Chains A and B, each alone.
Chain A
């Protein structure tokens, strides 16, 4: 059951048949976009275009409808995440402690906007809403590790360390 899908996007190594089979419980259920998308994201780490098409086919709708739903949830990503995921807390106390300046510094340093991934696939910059340790703000999650009191300068140093570690590797 596949509608002709006109484009192949790079980075979309999606085993359509396998994915379709794993989503079979949602067949024909127009309202099941979110659980189906969650399954996709669990499988690939993000929502590739081809997988979105499979979800749409399964639910019996066109891709735009699923995409529309997906775009309203911050949890869904549409491009593969970078090797390092940097998430800045934008909760109230971090905000007061200077999270915006931190984000701006990171955006400037990486040359991307929040929510994007650098062209070399190394860094993804996102926001989280309050992982908890409010007393030590502004907080930044580096690959899942909370980092305390990150000033813009500290963030730049952190990036430099990660970059040099990478070039040392190869």
Chain B
């Protein structure tokens, strides 16, 4: 191969590829060269001078991390001169870092209260640093063999300070930065390797910290040294994971002691499905739960107090490859929250009292037997595993003989998937997340990606930063991503579909996709589409959407003519109702231009709940069985009946709204709710409470006592994501393994286990599972796209469905060669009516971009201020002037169906006539929207701050 070169390192002949640096060659061949500023995810920087080597025929000692390897190079990494240089450079680097322990041979044996024979100040010792034993600087000192001949600094002030026992901040005498949420920074420990700054910039595209020159030298800082949450930080934690020292540390890692082991699993917070490495305190490997199934001994005492103290994304995670966001990094504290339920609760004399599994299951067996058939309903959850959802719907359909199964996020997601299925033949987003960073062009619409699926947002930024991809962002408000956009189409809220139609029309008018006859050869529905497009000429598109003809044509050209264009549609609260028709129009766009079936093309539908795709695939729906089979279709039913050995009810059941209505009317008597707080999430909590209160039996299975659980007759304590095995299917159809990494709190148990116990108590067949992997085995039998998926095969990378057989490698890119259904089917553009303001409601409402200081974490997260975040409403200076409003003024946002109090934020990042709301409180937001997508609102001055 022409690209292969030969080099010799320390006498070893090695082969390498052209373009690799000397360091990379050494690393690939397991030859050690010390480094500190090098980072696998970042570009070489060449700042620390730790990696110097000797190269025959070259003068001096070049840095191996920045020197490209060349054919025939002879490199030495371990001559006495090189060793001495490594040592001396390290000495310089640690000069300002507390280093008393770094060259002490006893370091590993030292405890926090030991007497130090070398007089290292108490606060200067490695043993008090949260990074101790996981520290790259320590390791480097060991590897290089740091031995200091004398103290590096003879500073009187320093000595004096040692005696006063002050915080570690002695060497640079900087004050530690502790005012930020979630993590702290102590730049006295910093060696100025710049990795955090580069991670923030290169890896995440943010750059809210930089190398700053201060009078005492260069250090890391924000603008004007403001706290991070006022500097644009997204709290992704990339800087923490990059830091080779203890300078940046999670508060959780500072306070909860040291990690004793680590394990990997999947983030439970969104459909990206980031793989995370969790550092855990607590020695014991978690025992697999099924041992508890023996006999009647279902109660089990609480085991060791395992704590998750740190979380970091893994480089090998197939969906995230080293990225995560604030939720995956910091939002896992709820696992060890004191609010957790640890025992089953039973209502006795109107009160929920602690009970035992034995008693609760016995009681339920008796009660449930009274409500078989359509009087029973089950509510699953897109936050729960595939196994939990699969078993819950199987339980409802077989043992309880009812098709009343649903979950709260289903309807809108199913509509999206059915649209994709109809047009292309498969109900799923078409391409892998990671490919987005190699797209030449991406059309991004809907809610702010950086909020809904931050890691996808990072991929898009990288595409623009690293590969010069052209991003076309269609959004009424300016967002973090529009900073990277080649073209920002500032549309009116709710008009994404109109813009898509306008783009289609422009592409056809410009002749970018061939004529009607050529299209008809590849696609169905061409005449219907063309007819429906008649209404979308540039002038009327501009009138409705506010996007000018020129930018429309420019965007259309970019999309149609780039070598690989992807469509990313992000579904936020305000987009739910319009999303299906928007996505249809966008799918048409991909079909017409052929931007499909190749790497970095396709259609990405980004939703918000972790396992929406899995819940859909598992048949957690009143009208669909596993594998998307229609309940009403006898052939589909038969296939499932064969595996289950059970007759199934033939009539589609009630959806969630139907079940609640039936509950109010007394037709539905028993409801089993798994992992969803129906009351809190409803636009109208009163009505839901009323409906649930009328039930004869309400079973709630959750990890905390939610508002819904408080109404229940029986509350079953569920294990959290970290405490159970199972699988999630992420937004790119990747089935990934969730690993039990800590033992379940108290007597809480994995969802699948609880359902199995209950089923067996009711003498149900087909629930004798002893491990989640066995449930997955059955899923593979009933759900054809999962046919080849097994627990063992998922170990590392997961598998993307369709994966029909055990030897099938999975399908990262759908519709390669041709679309799955043969010929793509175009959907005519539905007539969309975006909200029109009138004199009573003169503004159109949209979702505001997240302000610099705002970021959201799941409630109950440790170290996170649990008070609800204040809402902000963004409006244009002209509108603000007319209403006499200034930034920070309290405002009421009123729609025909609800109202929210917020603070005004005057900004010209938003168009006149449009207001953007932060939508932090899902419930009030839902009420405001009243089931519509975008809505018209009015603003009123409020008297008191809300």
Contact = CB atoms under 8 A, between A and B. Distances in A.
A67 B908 contact: no
Contacts of B851: 4, 6
Interface residues of B, number: 32
Interface string B847-864: 001011100000000000
Given A4-B905, A60-B483, A62-B208, A67 B215 contact: no
Contact of B207 (A3, A65, A114): A65
B909 A1 contact: yes
Contact of B223 (A4, A66, A115): A66
Contacts of A1: 478, 908-909
Contacts of B412: none
B891 to A, nearest CB: 15
Interface residues of A, number: 28
Contacts of B905: 4
Interface in A35-94: 49, 52-53, 56, 60-69, 71-72, 78
B201 interface: yes
B699 to A, nearest CB: 45
Interface in B199-218: 201, 206-215
A46 to B, nearest CB: 12
Contact of B232 (A49, A63, A68, A69): A63
A113 B232 CA distance: 30
A2 B215 contact: no
B224 interface: yes
B223 A67 contact: yes
A64 B223 contact: yes
A161 interface: no
Given A1-B478, A6-B853, A68 B909 contact: no
Nearest to A63: B223
Contacts of B907: 2, 4
A3 B852 contact: yes
Interface string B216-230: 000001111010001
Contact of A64 (B231, B872, B908): B231
A52 B224 contact: yes
Given A4-B905, A62-B231, A65-B210, A49 B853 contact: no
Contacts of B207: 61-62, 64-65
A5 interface: yes
B852 A67 contact: no
Nearest to B874: A4
Contact of A72 (B197, B213, B853): B213
A168 interface: no
A53 B222 CA distance: 12
A71 B849 CA distance: 30
A67 B478 contact: no
B467 to A, nearest CB: 16
Contacts of A113: 215
Q: Which of A3, A49, A69 has the most CB of B within 10 A?
A: A3
B852 A64 contact: no
A20 to B, nearest CB: 10
Contacts of A65: 201, 207, 210
A2 B482 CA distance: 12
A1 B479 CA distance: 10
A71 B211 CA distance: 9
B206 A62 contact: yes
Interface string A1-36: 111111101000000000000000000000000000
B311 to A, nearest CB: 25
Contacts of B215: 113-115
Q: Which of A5, A60, A69, A72 has the most CB of B within 10 A?
A: A5
B232 A67 contact: no
Given A52-B223, A62-B206, A68 B212 contact: yes
Contacts of A53: 223
Contacts of A4: 849, 851-853, 872, 874, 905, 907, 909
A63 B905 CA distance: 19
A67 B224 contact: yes
Contacts of B197: 68
Given A3-B478, A3-B852, A78 B224 contact: yes
Nearest to A61: B207
A61 B745 CA distance: 45
A67 B230 contact: no
B82 to A, nearest CB: 32
A63 B233 CA distance: 11
A69 to B, nearest CB: 8
A63 B226 CA distance: 10
A64 B208 contact: yes
Contacts of A9: 224
A147 to B, nearest CB: 24
Nearest to B877: A17
A2 B908 contact: yes
Contacts of A72: 213
Interface string B905-916: 101110000000
Given A63-B231, A63-B232, A2 B222 contact: no
A73 to B, nearest CB: 8
B28 to A, nearest CB: 33
Given A1-B478, A62-B231, A49 B223 contact: yes
B206 A6 contact: no
B230 A6 contact: yes
Contacts of B221: 64, 67-68
Given A3-B478, A4-B905, A64 B230 contact: no
A63 to B, nearest CB: 4
Given A2-B909, A49-B224, A64 B209 contact: yes
Interface in B835-887: 849, 851-853, 872, 874
B206 A71 contact: no
Contacts of A6: 230, 851-853
A124 to B, nearest CB: 14
B252 to A, nearest CB: 25
B837 to A, nearest CB: 24
A6 B233 CA distance: 12
Contacts of A52: 223-224
A61 B201 CA distance: 10
A4 B213 CA distance: 26
Q: Which of A3, A52, A62 has the most CB of B within 10 A?
A: A62
Contacts of A61: 207
B232 A64 contact: yes
Interface in A83-141: 113-115
Interface in A127-164: none
A5 B201 contact: no
B212 to A, nearest CB: 5
Contacts of A68: 197, 210-212, 221
15 contacts: A3-B232, A6-B851, A7-B230, A52-B224, A62-B207, A63-B223, A63-B231, A64-B209, A64-B232, A65-B210, A67-B221, A68-B210, A68-B221, A78-B224, A114-B215
Given A1-B909, A2-B908, A78-B224, 13 more contacts: A1-B478, A4-B905, A4-B909, A6-B230, A6-B852, A6-B853, A63-B232, A64-B209, A64-B223, A65-B210, A67-B212, A67-B224, A68-B211
Nearest first, the 5 closest Cβ-Cβ pairs linking A and B are A68-B210, A63-B223, A67-B223, A4-B851, A71-B213
